[in-house]
Amino acid sequence: MGKFEGNSALLQILQDTGVGKSSIVCRFVQDHFDHNISPTIGASFMTKTVPCGNELHKFLIWDTAGQERFHSLAPMYYRGSAAAVIVYDITKQDSFHTLKKWVKELKEHGPENIVMAIAGNKCDLSDIREVPIKDAKEYAESIGAIVVETSAKNAVNIEELFQGISRQIPPLDPHENGNNGAIKLGKQTSQTGYKSKSVS
Ligand SMILES: Nc1nc2c(ncn2[C@@H]2O[C@H](COP(=O)(O)OP(=O)(O)OP(=O)(O)O)[C@@H](O)[C@H]2O)c(=O)[nH]1
């Protein structure tokens, strides 16, 4: 493995409650799945460093609460993010509609070059699927987003999701920024007043 280049990306995970956002982050960061995971309050922050080619990439992940009452907080996190993961539940058509609303919001109010990744979660439940994979692929292609079906429960495509994002985020020019190739994170948001959710 090559030397640590200091590449890091700030990510925001978005969508309605119950689609499995926290479970995806928990699987990625801790390789753990909890059937009785509790709803996120406010937002939760986690980091994970993974090898990517000759470098190590550090993910700084904001997992925001999906409940309606927390929606107004989301911009505080995505405005400073290099990438956004928008999760839907393949067994719930409604969650796919909501995903499109989040994409619209990100396009209107998010950072100009934000990398968007769509995760169709709960693919272990494909026998009760409501969203055909074809629909997700066509939609992702139309907006230039990464798309993958995941199962946080069975650890399917979780690493691939984050690796895909990692490949799409361009490193900064180190001469321009003097920060050893680190990805620009934009404005850091204040964490005051937010509780973290434990996913262990
Ligand atoms: N079968 C299955 N269930 C899952 C999967 N991922 C999450 N779940 C379950 O879905 C429910 C909601 O998961 P969470 O990770 O809390 O969902 P969330 O989107 O973070 O919800 P909020 O924190 O309220 O925004 C929990 O009962 C999980 O165990 C999956 O891949 N497969």
Kindly state the tokens that stand for 25: 């982050």
Q: Contact at 8 Å (CB) between 81 and 11?
A: yes
Question: In the structure, which protein residues have their CB atom closer than 6 angstroms to any atom of ligand 1?
Answer: 17-23, 35, 37, 39-40, 65-67, 121-122, 124-125, 151-153
d(CA 111, CA 78) in angstroms, rounded, equals 8
What CA–CA distance (Å, rounded) separates 111 from 196? Answer: 24
51 C-alpha vs ligand 1 centroid, how far in Å?
A: 27
Edge-to-edge, what's the strand order for the sheet holding 55-64?
Answer: 43-52, 55-64, 7-14, 83-89, 115-121, 146-149
pLDDT at residue number 1: 31
ipTM of the complex as predicted: 0.97
Residue of the CA atom closest to atom 27 of ligand 1: 35
H-state helical runs in the chain: 21-30, 74-78, 93-109, 133-143, 158-168, 174-177
Q: Which residue, judged by its Cα, is nearest atom 12 of ligand 1?
A: 18
Q: Write down the pLDDT at residue 7.
A: 58
Kindly give, in sequence order, each residue whose CB lies less than 8 Å from that of residue 36, ignoring residues fewer than 6 positions away. none
Q: How long a stretch of residues is the chain?
A: 200
Cα separation, 28 vs 187, whole angstroms:
25
What pTM did the predictor assign? Answer: 0.83
DSSP, collapsed to helix, strand or coil, labels residue 67 as coil
Q: Check residue 3 and give its pLDDT.
A: 35
pLDDT tens per residue across all 200 residues of the chain = 333 345 566 777 877 789 999 999 999 999 999 998 888 887 889 999 888 777 788 889 988 887 777 788 888 888 888 999 999 999 999 999 999 999 999 999 999 889 999 999 999 999 999 999 999 999 999 999 999 999 999 999 999 999 999 888 866 444 444 433 333 333 233 332 233 333 33
- pLDDT at residue 20, as a whole number: 94
